[in-house]
Structure 1
Amino acid sequence: MSKQHITTLLVANRGEIACRVMRTAKAMGLTTVAVHSAIDANARHAREADIRIDLGGAKPADSYLRVDKLIEAARASGAQAIHPGYGFLSENAGFARAIEAAGLIFLGPPASAIDAMGSKSAAKALMEKAGVPLVPGYHGDAQDVETFRTASEQIGYPVLLKATAGGGGKGMKVVEREADLAEALQSAQREAQSAFGDSRMLVEKYVLKPRHVEIQVFADQHGNCLYLNERDCSIQRRHQKVVEEAPAPGLSVELRRAMGEAAVKAVQAIGYVGAGTVEFLLDARGEFFFMEMNTRLQVEHPVTEAITSLDLVAWQIRIAQGEPLPITQDQVPLNGHAIEVRLYAEDPDNDFLPATGTLDLYREPSAGSGRRVDSGVAEGDTVSPFYDPMLGKLIAWGENREEARLRLLAMLDETYVGGVRTNLAFLRRVIGHPAFAAAELDTGFILRHETELMRKPGELDEAFWQRAAKLFVETEPALVRSDDLHSPWAKRNGLRFGMSAQISVHLMCNGESRTVRVENSAEAVHRPKAIRQGRTLYLEWNGELQAVTAFDPIAEAEASHQQHGGLTAPMNGSIVRVLVEAGHSVEAGSVLIVMEAMKMEHSIRAAQAGVVKSLFCAEGELVSEGAVLLELEDHEALSTGGQG
């Protein structure tokens, strides 16, 4: 049993979780240590720490996944303990053992518990022994495609392939038919190896219209264990959570107790210590099936903190020092309702692909009662292709669910992000949707309401361009003389000595350029939500924040020539596989190139049948968004000798 006193804490992670852990650590009087990769040297978590240590490298495998460098950093900084955050090495038993062997404290469960529950297959076997219902599936050691094909036929399609070593949607694929199994298995194994260093998979029945309900558990070193109510995390995209809330709407007291007691029984059987989450699938009949256990703090822990008024990171630190749980099960609070959304740098209009770039504009909602923001970025920061694209989380609490929902909508309306594509407008549509307001939740929510949630902002009409041009002129500092307020040049509607009362403004937005004639008059204009940031005007239009910039029409004309017939990279990332060579004939829909960005794979397919004319990339190469990867010539062009 640990009796060590922690005075310095190293956080072996980055982004919002590193900032969040350090916030509590500082409040407890601890010295905080941040580690960072070479490209994260100026990241927010590094800036906020008392001590920062450079791990070097860029990819996780060269930095945040280097156990030896993390142990060395702890020793160099004088840290007695390491908090793993979530993701990266947080559920790696080898990391936990290395920390213990170095004489340091791991703010997580024993390595034996990670071994037992960190593997989805081992966890399912343990739960089966404990009598908890399981979703039908195969969790064995054999990993060849024939084994998975046989198991899938027995289970019945559709099936779900999942990485045994991790979560967060990495290494997870839904397979609708046998013909797609082999390709999906290979892709899932590569994703799992890249994200977790372990390519082992399991397969289980894909349950239709399930709810994802999870139980937050906590155990100390004295054999005490309790559950801190539950969370509903049903609204997901790419099998990764987007919206979480606590408590789960519609759960009876009896069902909450049954799920909570099952979770506690499972963790007590393996000598668990610290924070953990037992995840269940809940069907419409109220039956629940064990899915997996996450042996770490979860991304969505703030909603549990909101309804219990507890600081779970403080609990982790105190329990790691050998202190007992401060309350009993009967004393666990449940006050009001909380909802959290995850703000991602991603493009909802392009299959939620990760987005990269510089946060030219980043404004968070104001603080206040029932309002919380956990973020890991600030204005001017860069979103790289190497890490998870989550920027932060917005959490709202209310006396009831509707109060929390309306408060969260207000927070979303106060949030501005520019320079990088995000899911901000998508989140507004989810939280504002009547079905969400009615708590009609399951994991198929986004697909079922796709028409309303994924609606395009529509064509930018003349009213938009006129409004943008007028605001651009009004906020253009170069057009106004500020040193003499009595000068006629201090007003845009001042004396012109015969000059036109109109101004021509050359603007660009979403790749479309316009020359707009603006009446330079003094009439009042209703001002929409807009922020001027340097040479860019961010203007909200039809629920989307549009970035409007001035452009030079001459330079635009010179750059108008573009290469045709080329398939381009949809994002910054690395080339995982090149499946064709120059001269190969391909069918429409064939996978030509597989890219990886932020630990997720994306297949680039042929839009039409044709012949590969040229390749401009190779496996292992890093490419930028928009880079031409391959040139494809269609059969019609070939048959006519390329003339047209």
Structure 2
Amino acid sequence: MSSAGVPVVGGYHGEEQSPEKLFEEAKKIGFPVMIKAVRGGGGKASKIYIFSKKFCIPLVVFIEAISQKVFGDKHDNYVYLFERDCSVQRRHQKIIEEAPAPGVTSEVRKRLGESAVKAARAVNYVGAGTVEFILDRNYDFYFMEMNTRLQVEHPVTEMITGTDLVEWQIRVASGERLPMTQEDLSVNGHSFEGRIYAENPENNFLPGAGVLKRMAVPTLQPHIRIETGVREADEVSVHYDPMIAKLVVWGKDRQSALTRLAAALNEFNVVGLNTNVEFLKTLSRHTKFEEGDVHTDFIPQHYEDLFPVKETPSSDYCKAALAIILREELEGAKSVATSLDPSSPFRPGVIQRFNHNLLRTINLLNNKKVTPVRVLYLDNGLYKMNVEGREFNVSGTLCRLDDIDYLSVSVDGNLHSIRVIEDGSEIHLFSKGGYQTFSQPQPKFKDHLGKGLSGQEGGVAPMPGIVEKICVKEGQEVSAGDPLVVIIAMKMEYVIKASTPGIVEKILYQQGESVQKDVTLIKVKPLEE
């Protein structure tokens, strides 16, 4: 690449990989350095270090990750299709991408594109390729690698150039010339792609698996595109990447595209497993993200803003209580319509009362806390609700479409439109303000039904996966923090460690076996003090 005129950073790629050798090479290159695993595809196992005295310590460097789309044919024609910004990442893996990159001038854009073409031409490349650069705050960029394929985020390039890159691949592979020249290509508008992952951002983005009990997606429009390989009722497996969909939007400029992304995320509702949808909504609303001030350390730098302490507003309990009440009345109406005795006092729903108003308490569980909502039924569909001493005037209507309920509710005169999805004892509320899950507590005796007598000490699987390695033997003494077992799931390795000192009593699973979430893998008997 260097001989082809592509800006590169110094590096070492030799076979000798001892710490001493790497340290010597790092000093020749100059700190900071990044160490990347040979098999660390997708940014996995990449770490950045700075030299301090006699030690290498992790370093935070504010750089941007820029992807430059390039295409070549068998007739020595090459074009670049402009850059994408992929800077906001977790575990060095992309979450959200956009094109063009914010803040990049036309002059820098031209230099990026021409460098990508030089890289492709240097190896006589044919087909679709993606040249990865790192870009510093001075807009100096350096070649990092080339991915010889279309990438996950290629739709944003298609959206701003009006091209079909898959069609281009087929035409070029058939021996045709590129459909367009560099002079034919230009940037039109702005595009974002949000990757929808089955993961829990609040638990270090831990991937999960399970059944998509409900999956409602935004209404398709000319400027909204959804790419997915799953649908409602499918099972998300531990054997593949946790990405379940890509949400792609286009706007005439960055702000309009960002507004469209936020609106579409509000309509992307999943029940059955954790997703990063709410995190993407918070991210897209962050002031610095709106300003385009993005870099690879964005999430750690703004962690407190992106993961605020969540407190459920009292008004949300009113919305959940009203949804429960109106669902009961809807079910009651259906029962009356099909019942041989519509006047039965045992039918579902609320029975007409005379001479006094009904007063009931609905207990709602949210964020591991049970909150009672006292509901006074008034006339004409009005309710007075009391939540922890605060009173609210509540009214609303519920309509059902394709097994999804849509709630229009007024709380003290403030109107809200909410999508309501029921899953067993849980009720899920999706709105522009966010996503909340409530449930009505079950009797305590039900908590013990079906539970075994397995101990809580030892290694417990935090997610479904496959046992990659057993790190201990039965009878072995372990200390707190010692690795017990390694499981892999969704392209991620997770080390389960001992929580307390003890003796390994029983190894319940062996290497290669599949395990479910929350099962005990290894029993550890605590040491007696």
Q: Which residue of 2 aligns with 1:427?
A: 280
- Which of 473, 476, 487 is the aligned partner of 2:325? 473
Q: Which residue of 1 aligns with 2:7?
A: 133
Percent of matched pairs sharing the same residue = 40
Q: Is the 8 A contact 1:470 1:518 kept in 2?
A: no
Q: Is the 8 A contact 2:269 2:430 kept in 1?
A: no
Residues 495-506 of structure 1 correspond to what in structure 2 (within 5 A)? Answer: 495-496=352-353, 501-503=358-360
Identify which range, 359-368 or 561-570, moves more after superposition: 561-570
Aligned partner letter, 1:320: A
Identify which range, 605-614 or 300-309, moves more after superposition: 605-614
Shift of 1:305: 0.7
Q: Which residue of 1 aligns with 2:197?
A: 344
Residue 624 in 1 paired to residue 477 in 2? Answer: no
Q: Which residue of 2 aligns with 1:218?
A: 71
Deviations, residues 412-463 of structure 1 (Å, cap 9, x unaligned): 11111111100001000111100011110110111110001122433x5665
Aligned to 1:529, the other structure's residue is in SS state: strand
**In structure 2, distance between residues paired with 1:491 and 1:630:** 47
**In structure 1, distance between residues paired with 2:40 and 2:75:** 28
Unaligned runs of 5+ in 1: 1-126, 185-204, 640-644
Structure 1 400/461 Cα, relative in aligned 2: closer, same or farther at 3 Å? closer
Aligned partner letter, 1:628: T
Shift of 1:346: 0.4
Deviations, residues 309-352 of structure 1 (Å, cap 9, x unaligned): 11111111111111111221111121111111111000101111
Q: Which residue of 2 aligns with 1:594?
A: 486
Unaligned runs of 5+ in 2: 383-394, 397-408, 410-415
Residue 537 in 1 paired to residue 427 in 2? Answer: yes
Structure 1 230/541 Cα, relative in aligned 2: closer, same or farther at 3 Å? closer
Aligned to 2:130, the other structure's residue is in SS state: strand
Q: Which residue of 2 aligns with 1:366?
A: 219
Structure 1 461/286 Cα, relative in aligned 2: closer, same or farther at 3 Å? closer
Q: Is the 8 A contact 2:218 2:265 kept in 1?
A: yes
More helix by share: 1
Shift of 1:221: 1.3
Shift of 1:623: 1.1
RMSD (Å) for aligned C-alpha atoms: 3.3
Identify which range, 418-427 or 584-593, moves more after superposition: 584-593
Deviations, residues 444-500 of structure 1 (Å, cap 9, x unaligned): 111110001122433x56654453233123224543335189967899554147999
Identify which range, 380-389 or 518-527, moves more after superposition: 518-527
Q: Is the 8 A contact 2:478 2:502 kept in 1?
A: yes
Q: Is the 8 A contact 2:477 2:504 kept in 1?
A: yes
**In structure 2, distance between residues paired with 1:482 and 1:323:** 68
**In structure 2, distance between residues paired with 1:582 and 1:514:** 45
Identify which range, 520-529 or 370-379, moves more after superposition: 520-529
Aligned partner letter, 1:445: F
- Which of 456, 459, 468 is the aligned partner of 1:567? 459
Aligned to 2:221, the other structure's residue is in SS state: coil
Q: Is the 8 A contact 1:573 1:596 kept in 2?
A: yes
Structure 1 542/448 Cα, relative in aligned 2: closer, same or farther at 3 Å? farther
**In structure 2, distance between residues paired with 1:541 and 1:309:** 32
Q: Which residue of 1 aligns with 2:149?
A: 296
Shift of 1:155: 5.0
For this pair of structures, how many residues does the alignment match?
487
Q: Is the 8 A contact 1:575 1:618 kept in 2?
A: yes
Aligned partner letter, 2:463: M
**In structure 1, distance between residues paired with 2:359 and 2:520:** 42
Aligned partner letter, 2:516: S
Q: Is the 8 A contact 1:530 1:537 kept in 2?
A: no
- Which of 271, 277, 286 is the aligned partner of 2:124? 271
Shift of 1:146: 5.1
More strand by share: 2
Identify which range, 501-510 or 328-337, moves more after superposition: 501-510
TM-score, length-scaled by structure 1: 0.69
Residue 318 in 1 paired to residue 192 in 2? Answer: no
